[in-house]
A and B are shown apart, each in its own frame.
Chain A
Amino acid sequence: MKKYLLLLFFGVVVSLFLAACNEESSSDRNESGNNELTLWAWPGFGLDELAQEYEEDTGVKINIQEADYGDVHQNLITALASGSGAPDISAVDQGYLDRMKENQNQFHNLLDLGGEELEGVYLESKWEQATNADQDFLIGVPTDVGPMVMAYREDIFEEAGLPTDPEEVAEEIDDWEKYVEAGRQVKEETGKFMINRTSDLYLAILEQSAEQYFTPDEEFIGDESSQNLRAWEIAANAGDISMNLERDSAEWGTALADDQIATVLLPPWMLQNIKNAAPDTAGNWNITFMPEGSGNFGGSFLTIPKQSDQPQAAYDFASWVMAPEQQLRIFKNSGPFPSTPEVYDDPAIQELEDDFVNNNNLGAIYAEAAEEIVAGYKGTMHDPVNELFQDGLTSIEDGDTTPEQAWESVIEEVNRQLDR
């Protein structure tokens, strides 16, 4: 008996150990031979089927290597710095794009590979992000776009005495002050929360503006930019309508399933996260426009590092797979939202149906929101600075700083990090 127990435990230990090893196994090295292109991306692009088809049509095999979002960028930067190991095509998120643009000599200029044909195909805001200030360097082919909309719980809104029809909701809550007011009404009538965390409210407001933390000359204006001041002001005083839970955390999912959160400000792809976290809330959601227009959340570009020895083949695939037709197919296969406005009138978008939300106009709302997106200038230090502001807001919610103190310490820390 004792022996069997021991054996059993040994087996468990070994399998746990193997599982731990598995996790650490590194990603494959890039082998770019003839007629084979490597592509780095993180999960969610939905390119597999198209890559297969491309191989059948052209004989060029696309070797898609997926890693986590953060790892893809870190691996790419390391490969660029060390001078070898970069793929033929790499996806780069907009958050890292300005850092890559600053080192544009590491990438092929797609304008030299026929990229001028892409102008006008993509949303103005995406094109602006993908090109440099002088419009003579194109770093990547735009992929998807993340137009922000507001998902809300019809049942909670009804209980709180708010309208439930998407058009009426958009009309009634047409600025952020009214959003916070509606949130207080929800809190008073139902005891539930309007949003998961104030920093997410802050992000949504900030993303509505072209001017965020930095001017294109990399000068910090976050301490005086009117949109940032307004976003901070509203979010810092909305602690009472927020549950203070991190988005996409386990608790966030529990709170959604527990019917505690009335609205989520999200791009189309994030709806999937809600479906995964709280499948039982299907049919209680509806979607409408965010107050004061849309913003962008996520969205990437397919870049071609200089290290690639077949840039033309890489460009041909990247421009083909992100052409309007293909983007629409990706979207139909429950991928991210296209960044090519010419497909927005397609029935697949206009008549999009989703059992999870009670709205037959869903696709039209996404499309309209996508056209409203303005390209916010980010700059290389955007993400670290953004994190400091978000942490500042959370520290107010956590309870022992006042908004004024939090603002001061954020500005102080931002200046310290920028001066270094």
Chain B
Amino acid sequence: MEAVRKNNKLSKGNSRYSQKASELKSGYLFISPFFLLFGVFGVFPLIFTFYLSFQRWDILGETEFVGWSNYASIILNDPLFWKSVGNTFSIWALSTIPQLMAALLIAFFLNQAFLKYKSFFRLAIFMPNVTSVVAVALVFSAIFGTQYGLANFVLSTLGIDPISWSGSYFGTHVAIAVMVMWRWVGYNAIIYLAGLQSIPKDLYEAARIDGASKMQQLVYITVPLLRPIIIFTVVQSTIGGMQLFAEPLLFGEGSRSQGLTMTLYLYQEAFNRFSFGYASAIAWMLFLIIIVFSLFNLYLTRKISSS
């Protein structure tokens, strides 16, 4: 009897153990598609890029180990890279700052009780985001044509001299920034709108009773309570802005590379000049820059909105 009970206990424990193991197995099976794909398309390229960044490789020939020299020439002896960093930040600032402010205002407006056809406006403001970026770039390239463009025509009716959109720093940066803005302002507005709707109505009621104007409500209630969402959009736009590629590629980088962004430079190194090692090193520099800038951004946004 004693022995039987013992046996029972043992077998019970055993079966419990094996059941757990099989549960574990199927659990891993369930999540494996993601990890397989992530491994093939995420982790492997990451590691391989790191390896490549220490090589010289024209993709068809053999790799040749060059140590840190790719990084050294990027940092010390590559005016084009630093120019591309400058361009990226300039275009980012020109597009993101007005974009987020506009998105906030649009969201605030869309959230007002007096507004009719809300769904229509929400959909309409989001529409540009689903447009193909190639189509956007082509249409805007036509608008920002120097000789026959719509933008210069409008400026000329206002009595302003035509701007060489594709031939000057200012023109190219503004043209690309406008494309980015047009495409993303609605997306951010929708995110802000979701945030706005989570703010309790009674706060506004109380403010109204105290005689606060709409502007005061925006500044003293909406913005502080939206802080986490603002941080989210800032980080998102930062990452997106650092990776700006299709717009400058299709608009043209211009004769002095004034539209050359970091990712575009990376692409050109890899697929126009076939220096895959150098391009990989640029990719890692880009990674570092984005991390540093995102952290700085986070710090700044926190500081501003908490003060």
A residues touching B (Cβ–Cβ < 8 Å)?
2, 5-6, 9-10, 12-13, 16-17, 19-20, 23, 70, 74, 77-78, 80-81, 99, 102-103, 106, 243-246, 249-251, 254-255, 258, 380-381, 383-384, 387, 391-395, 397-399, 401, 413, 416-417, 420
Contact = CB atoms under 8 A, between A and B. Distances in A.
A78 B148 CA distance: 39
A12 B73 CA distance: 49
Contact of A394 (B60, B123, B255): B255
Interface in B45-92: 58-61, 73, 77-78, 80
A6 B256 contact: no
B35 to A, nearest CB: 23
A106 B60 contact: yes
B127 A251 contact: no
B212 interface: no
Contacts of B124: 9
A177 to B, nearest CB: 25
Interface stretch (B18-26, B222-230, B237-245, B272-280): B272-280
A383 B272 contact: yes
Given A20-B132, A23-B132, A383-B272, A398 B164 contact: yes
B59 A78 contact: yes
B4 to A, nearest CB: 63
Contacts of B131: 16, 20
Contacts of A103: 60-61
A255 B77 CA distance: 41
A90 to B, nearest CB: 14
Contacts of B61: 102-103
A6 B119 contact: yes
Given A391-B255, A398-B168, A16 B60 contact: no
Interface residues of B, number: 41
Contacts of A23: 132, 134
A251 B80 CA distance: 28
B130 A255 contact: no
Nearest to A105: B60
B30 interface: no
Nearest to B73: A420
When A and B form their complex, which 10 residue pairs have the shortest distance between CB atoms, in order from nearest? A394-B255, A398-B167, A395-B255, A103-B60, A20-B132, A251-B145, A254-B148, A81-B59, A391-B255, A384-B273
B216 interface: no
Contact of A17 (B77, B130, B145): B130
Contact of A398 (B77, B130, B149, B256): B256
Contacts of B80: 413
B44 interface: no
Q: Which of A81, A399, A401, A420 has the most CB of B within 10 A?
A: A420
Interface in B229-272: 252, 254-257, 271-272
B97 interface: no
Nearest to A412: B79
Nearest to B120: A5
A251 B256 contact: no
Interface string B143-154: 001111100000
28 contacts: A5-B120, A12-B127, A13-B130, A20-B131, A70-B271, A99-B58, A99-B60, A99-B274, A103-B60, A103-B61, A244-B146, A244-B167, A250-B141, A251-B146, A251-B147, A254-B145, A255-B147, A255-B148, A380-B274, A384-B272, A391-B256, A391-B257, A393-B255, A397-B167, A398-B167, A398-B254, A399-B167, A420-B278
Most chain A beta-carbon neighbours within 10 Å: one of B78, B252, B256: B256
B101 interface: no
B142 to A, nearest CB: 5
A147 to B, nearest CB: 27
A417 B148 contact: no
Contacts of B168: 398
B34 interface: no
B114 interface: no
Given A23-B132, A417-B273, A77 B60 contact: yes
A6 B77 CA distance: 56
Contact of A77 (B59, B147, B257): B59
Given A244-B167, A399-B164, A16 B147 contact: no
Interface of B: 58-61, 73, 77-78, 80, 117, 119-120, 123-124, 127, 130-132, 134, 138, 141-142, 145-149, 164, 166-168, 252, 254-257, 271-275, 278
A78 B59 CA distance: 8
Given A13-B127, A23-B134, A384-B272, 14 more contacts: A2-B120, A77-B274, A102-B60, A103-B60, A245-B146, A250-B141, A250-B145, A251-B142, A251-B145, A254-B145, A255-B147, A384-B273, A398-B254, A420-B73
Contacts of A6: 119-120, 123
Contacts of B141: 249-250
Nearest to B57: A81
B255 A398 contact: yes
B23 to A, nearest CB: 38
A323 to B, nearest CB: 30
Contacts of B142: 250-251
A395 B255 CA distance: 5
B250 to A, nearest CB: 11
Contacts of A398: 164, 167-168, 254-256
B167 A2 contact: no
Contacts of A413: 80
A303 B145 CA distance: 39
Contacts of B117: 2
A244 B255 CA distance: 11
A417 to B, nearest CB: 7
Contacts of A13: 123, 127, 130
Specify which of B123, B130, B132, B255 lies most central, judged by the most chain A CB atoms within 10 Å of its CB. Answer: B255
A387 B55 CA distance: 25
B130 A16 contact: yes
Contacts of A17: 130
A221 B132 CA distance: 44
B214 to A, nearest CB: 26
A250 B146 CA distance: 11
Nearest to B66: A420
A74 B274 CA distance: 10
A385 B164 CA distance: 25
B184 to A, nearest CB: 15
Contacts of A245: 146-147
B147 A243 contact: yes
